[in-house]
Structure 1
Amino acid sequence: MTYDPVSANPLSGNPLTSRDDVVGGLHALFDPLLPYFSEGGARVRLDGAAAHFDRAAADLEGFARPLWGLTPLAVGGGSFEHWELYRRGLANGTDPEHPEYWGAVNSTDQRMVELAAIGFTMRMVPQHVWAPLSQKAKDNLAAYLLHARQFDYADNNWKFFRILVDLGLEECGVDFDRSLTEKYLEELDGFYLGEGWYRDGNVRRIDHYIPFAMHFYGLIYAKLARGDEKRVAAYKERAVAFAKDIRHWFDEDGGTLAFGRSLTYRFACGGFWGALAFADVEALPWGEIKGQFMRHLRWWADKPIAHGNGVLSVGYGYPNLFMSESYNSAGSPYWALKAFLPLALGADHPFWTAEETPAVIDETPIPLKHPGMVMMHTKGNVVALSSGQQNWQMRNGTEKYAKFVYSSRYGFSVEVDERAYHQGAFDGALAFSDDGRHYRVRETNEVAQIAGDTLYARWKPWSDVSVETWLLPANPWHIRVHRITTPRALHATEGGFAIGRADLNADRLREEAGRAVAHSATDLSVIVDLAGTRDGRTQKAYPNTNLIVSKTLVPQLRGDIAAGTTVLVTAAMAMPAGSDAEAALNKPPAAPDLAALEALFARAGIDVSAILVPERF
């Protein structure tokens, strides 16, 4: 029989409509890991691929991350037959004399990340992982955690990891320096921007780490902290405000905006909805929160996200190392199990008893000033126009943060050959070349502003070339205006949305002066030149560059840019195939008036929050 990669997905075939379905999904995700536990239980090694940290830390990652789901399962009364395996692993992994010892933390270290799940588990189910241990094992585990927490943690969401460890130590009666806890809680407050939004450290990025880290851990703290009522109240109030915005990062089918780093954590992106339930915060009606949570899990159930053995792959919609981070080991994807936090709640909790209600979809554009986005809901999709973010620290950081547009249905593509300008995907981007081989795209902005539902940025692909870009919603289209000032001739390629490509060249492609259109069996994608003489091309992108599907088509506009000042005006859209898409195809928006755009920002432009920290190289 032909191998079907979708059937290897542990969630495949699960209706995911009830609490029992979610419990079944968790077991199905964990069970494929059992053959990979070491004899001593402390290490889980899933394949030979490497992260930047050492193998012992990667093995700890594989051991610890499933606890984000298993611990809530136990709290909620669910059955799990392998706590003895975890006790053995904790005893051996923290014993310096055992061959499976995890190694000591002696500086900022990946082990700090993974110990947070252990601290959480010690706080929630000490009867499974602490009380049954021998005194020697308790002493070793406590000493290991106390040693690790004395070092500086990374200046971002990592600061919550010490706090989670401290919750576990407190529950198990281990004394520790509480001033370190308070210090990090204060520093985390320094990342708060207002209106529910944080930044993940003093960097120009506001991404999924805000819902699945900053708010996720904050809501856990709000549920579990003792004697910190003021901060608990603040965390809950911030989550209420944030929910009203972040729901617009999710489409009507449960897909979330593919944007930023660490997307291999997959359904961790829905962890915020479960964390609201865990902390008893009805930020939106329970039916809406439950609907967001369940739809998101269901969205993943038909994607080929696991290897043939049922182990989750590094990747997003399918196994893909091109889009991975340097800190992704084979165990990294199991942070996805953070989504199972609401299993800590009994079946009688209103989160579980509520009837799912549909997503709140508004065709009116929704501006989000802190991440520098304008959100648009279209059928089965959410689109974000984006300006103001950057990330030079991560692989493919430019593609993950600095494109003009991102999408839940169509994802984005990462480039795989910086010396192949004519083969680039450049979806959602404008690429320039001065030699026909190398290229430059937007990596950062000198200025990024928002005025109503319109974005403006000034950026430089080279030190002597300046580009001003305005982004405007025109649902289901969006418009990009670029004013390019260059002392020398360049060539430019601009891409629309990437859509899945069929085998046997079964798709229909249209390449014309000023327009390119791709028709697949499921989707339509188009890019139109509203002011200019560029040629249309439908690019067959390199395989495995898009996050959601492995083979794609990208409509592009291409042309020469003369020395001097050139204005380009572009419209792009993509929709599921059908009559609505065909109707939209025949009604592209009109080009906006550039002088009116300049006047708008002179009058009402405000800086995007994301850009309001110094650049980091």
Structure 2
Amino acid sequence: MVRLLRELTDPLIPRFSPGRARLRLGDNAAHYPDAAAELEAFARPLWGLGPLAAGGGTFEHWELWRRGLAAGTDPGHEEFWGAVTDVDQRLVETAAIGLALAVAPEAVWDPLSGRERDDLAAWLLHAITAEPADNNWQFFPVMVGLGLDRVGVRFDPAPNTARLDRLESFALGGGWYSDGPTDQRDYYVPFAMHYYGLVYAALAGEGDPGRARRLRERAAAFALDFQHWFASDGAAVPFGRSLTYRFAQGAFWGALAFADVEALPWGTVKGHLMRHLRWWMERPIRDSAGLLTLGYGYAQPALAEQYNAPGSPYWALKAFLPLAVPAEHPFWTAPEHPARELPPVSTQPEAGVALMRCEEGRQVIMLSARQHHTWVRHGAAKYAKFAYSTFFGFSVPSGSWGLEQGAFDSTLALSDDGVHWRPCEVTRDATARDGLLHTRWAPWPDVEIETWLIARPPWHLRVHRLRSGRDLLSAEGAFAVNRDSPARRSAAGPGHARLDSPSGLCVIEDLGGARAGRLVRALPGTNVLAPRTVIPTLAGGHGPGEHWLACAVLGLAEAPPGAEWPEPPGREAIPDLPGGGPTR
């Protein structure tokens, strides 16, 4: 882990500005100004460098960051970052500085001059009084407070106490949080809500024992669910926003070690984090200079949110928190354990998902019916698709004209003109129990769809009750398959679309038989794991009135032996549904 951290930070060194307060990694296309973007790139490496120093690791470039802290917080310096204000990107980045002060003051604070310390303290104190967004951001001033407390800077703790109380109000039970008063249950739960909570429990637990106990207990409970999000090779289910933070997905496992929470055997916790890092290091996620790129499985700027600048991916360095843990801790001394054998289906109602372990754990498929996120770029694709796979990923649109631009894998898209398509975007009335998910959505005022998702590993079934006041065309996609490997065989015809290639096998079967299969070649750069894909799809036409649609979907990393296509579950696999369900 130390070697990897240095591999990731060494390419940053030539990119420092003359005053060392900014890292210029590329052109900023985020909604915040260049000064904040370059602060972001400067601060985020501290998520790894602070723990490295805390654990006794050496780093020969600390002076660059110390000079940058001095210049960036000096109002008279040309590289001054600007004051921290309400709901400000600068507030986000103060959290990494707070952690570094809290765990490694000898590397960050002690070598500064008296005036430099005063400037840094005064700048950080703005974060204590600034108003954060009402979600995981409430933790940022708390992290700053941990750092200031460690170096002896006095401040009023009352605002942070109120923020901690507010954060605890987001607890849902079962170890889950919402990310604010919303329906969001994504990676911000492990790499933000739990991560910061475990840091607080470890560093402030003696003074706040009741809260520290609750934070640890919730994290231990959450681990039992979160382990289902990872395949046996370390891949995590790609889902939700901020995927460009990449191996921050696994940061929760290291935070357990930092707070000494043995939620699972230490060898199992260690295995989750190490396999995850190894999986990422096999992906082309760095450019020719060694810098982390915007994207997920490869450089894919179209995936980025409006709050992603060139330095944003370095939130991934949160995964290095266990470097602060002593070498004799059982996290380090325990033998690394392989992934545990887990049930084939884990339904997690707090998140509105069911996770299927397929191919003996080599692939995890998440069925999702609860969530939506309308303000982030490609929010419908990131939250409201029906299935997300560790092997096939998911796709985001590259335009609004036709199925090829829409890249409608793992969703049902509808059109009233044959050109512009509307997939599931905003869900409501969602439930999840015993491998059965249900939701409602309405792409037009006179069109309502009720959708049921049924986990039958390795297959999943989808049933839709479509009530429409207009003529519609439909296109329902299976998984997107990498098309850079020539297909061994393919078939598309009445009631089916199938593809078998070295990059995986994918089948979608219409259980009603009325729709026609086709293979849609999505535009390049749409899928988060493979740059060029083809999507087996069922297409149909529907007049005004009520229609029942049902299909079975299969995606396998490895095709089973034999010349026959896998046989899908029959209609008997569909449970009784309200309104009678599809005709049997």
Provide the TM-score with structure 1 as the length reference.
0.91
Distance in 2 between the 1:173 and 1:469 partners?
Answer: 56
2:536 alignment partner in structure 1 = 555
Question: Cα deviations across residues 550-599 of structure 1 (Å, max 9, x unaligned)?
Answer: 1111110001112211111111111123326977x422111247671239
2:521 alignment partner in structure 1 = 540
Distance in 2 between the 1:258 and 1:325 partners?
Answer: 15
2:396 and 2:406 in contact (8 A); partners too: no
1:363 and 1:475 in contact (8 A); partners too: no
Is 1:573 aligned with 2:554?
Answer: yes
2:421 alignment partner in structure 1 = 439
Q: 1:592 to 1:418 in 2, by over 3 A?
A: farther
Secondary structure, aligned partner of 1:375: strand
**What amino acid sits opposite 2:545 in the alignment?**
G
Question: Displacement, 1:164?
Answer: 0.4
Is 1:310 aligned with 2:309?
Answer: no
Written as runs of structure 1 = structure 2, the 5 A alignment for 1:147-226 is 147-225=126-204, 226=206
1:422 and 1:436 in contact (8 A); partners too: no
Distance in 2 between the 1:515 and 1:301 partners?
Answer: 37
**What amino acid sits opposite 2:368 in the alignment?**
S
Question: Displacement, 1:275?
Answer: 0.4
2:47 and 2:317 in contact (8 A); partners too: yes
1:256 alignment partner in structure 2 = 236
Distance in 1 between the 2:248 and 2:468 partners?
Answer: 43
Distance in 2 between the 1:403 and 1:415 partners?
Answer: 12
1:501 and 1:507 in contact (8 A); partners too: no
Question: Cα deviations across residues 126-161 of structure 1 (Å, max 9, x unaligned)?
Answer: 111111111111111011011232121011001111
Question: Cα deviations across residues 250-283 of structure 1 (Å, max 9, x unaligned)?
Answer: 1111000110000000000000000001111100
Is 1:29 aligned with 2:24?
Answer: no
**What amino acid sits opposite 2:162 in the alignment?**
K
Secondary structure, aligned partner of 1:248: helix
**What amino acid sits opposite 2:138 in the alignment?**
K
2:436 alignment partner in structure 1 = 454
Of 281, 292, 295, which aligns to 1:301?
A: 281
**What amino acid sits opposite 1:484 in the alignment?**
L
Is 1:352 aligned with 2:332?
Answer: yes
Q: 1:581 to 1:195 in 2, by over 3 A?
A: farther
1:527 and 1:556 in contact (8 A); partners too: yes
Q: 1:519 to 1:363 in 2, by over 3 A?
A: farther
2:354 and 2:366 in contact (8 A); partners too: yes
Q: 1:309 to 1:540 in 2, by over 3 A?
A: same
- Give the alignment's Cα RMSD to 1 decimal: 1.6
Gaps of 5+ in 2: none
Of 46, 59, 78, which aligns to 2:38?
A: 59
1:502 and 1:520 in contact (8 A); partners too: no
2:503 alignment partner in structure 1 = 522
Is 1:92 aligned with 2:96?
Answer: no
2:459 alignment partner in structure 1 = 477
Is 1:145 aligned with 2:127?
Answer: no
Gaps of 5+ in 1: 1-21, 602-617
Written as runs of structure 1 = structure 2, the 5 A alignment for 1:297-376 is 297-376=277-356
Secondary structure, aligned partner of 1:568: strand
Is 1:381 aligned with 2:363?
Answer: yes
Q: 1:56 to 1:423 in 2, by over 3 A?
A: closer
Distance in 2 between the 1:155 and 1:274 partners?
Answer: 26
2:109 alignment partner in structure 1 = 130
**What amino acid sits opposite 2:541 in the alignment?**
D
Distance in 1 between the 2:544 and 2:150 partners?
Answer: 68
Is 1:290 aligned with 2:270?
Answer: yes
Of 455, 464, 486, which aligns to 2:468?
A: 486
Question: Displacement, 1:348?
Answer: 1.6
Written as runs of structure 1 = structure 2, the 5 A alignment for 1:567-606 is 567-579=548-560, 585-592=565-572, 596-598=576-578
Q: State the structure with bigger RCO (CA 8 A, min sep 6), 1 or 2.
A: 1
Secondary structure, aligned partner of 1:236: helix
Q: 1:594 to 1:453 in 2, by over 3 A?
A: closer
Distance in 1 between the 2:168 and 2:73 partners?
Answer: 32
Question: Displacement, 1:211?
Answer: 0.5
**What amino acid sits opposite 2:333 in the alignment?**
T
Question: Displacement, 1:531?
Answer: 1.0
1:38 alignment partner in structure 2 = 17
Distance in 2 between the 1:487 and 1:53 partners?
Answer: 43
Question: Displacement, 1:499?
Answer: 1.6
Question: Displacement, 1:444?
Answer: 1.4
Question: Cα deviations across residues 80-136 of structure 1 (Å, max 9, x unaligned)?
Answer: 011111110000000011111111123210000101010111111111111111111
Secondary structure, aligned partner of 2:185: coil
2:238 and 2:394 in contact (8 A); partners too: yes
Distance in 2 between the 1:335 and 1:325 partners?
Answer: 14
Distance in 2 between the 1:290 and 1:228 partners?
Answer: 28
Distance in 1 between the 2:440 and 2:574 partners?
Answer: 15
Does 266-275 or 353-362 show the bigger shift?
353-362
Distance in 1 between the 2:579 and 2:337 partners?
Answer: 42
Does 111-120 or 143-152 show the bigger shift?
143-152
Does 590-599 or 513-522 show the bigger shift?
590-599
Distance in 2 between the 1:46 and 1:240 partners?
Answer: 37
1:416 alignment partner in structure 2 = 398
Of 387, 408, 418, which aligns to 1:426?
A: 408
Distance in 1 between the 2:572 and 2:242 partners?
Answer: 36
Written as runs of structure 1 = structure 2, the 5 A alignment for 1:96-135 is 96-135=75-114
1:235 alignment partner in structure 2 = 215
**What amino acid sits opposite 1:170 in the alignment?**
D
Distance in 1 between the 2:432 and 2:505 partners?
Answer: 29
Q: How many residues align?
A: 578
Distance in 2 between the 1:395 and 1:336 partners?
Answer: 20
- Percent identity reads 51
Distance in 2 between the 1:593 and 1:217 partners?
Answer: 43
Distance in 2 between the 1:74 and 1:430 partners?
Answer: 50
Written as runs of structure 1 = structure 2, the 5 A alignment for 1:71-86 is 71-86=50-65
**What amino acid sits opposite 1:393 in the alignment?**
W
Secondary structure, aligned partner of 2:422: coil
Distance in 1 between the 2:580 and 2:69 partners?
Answer: 60
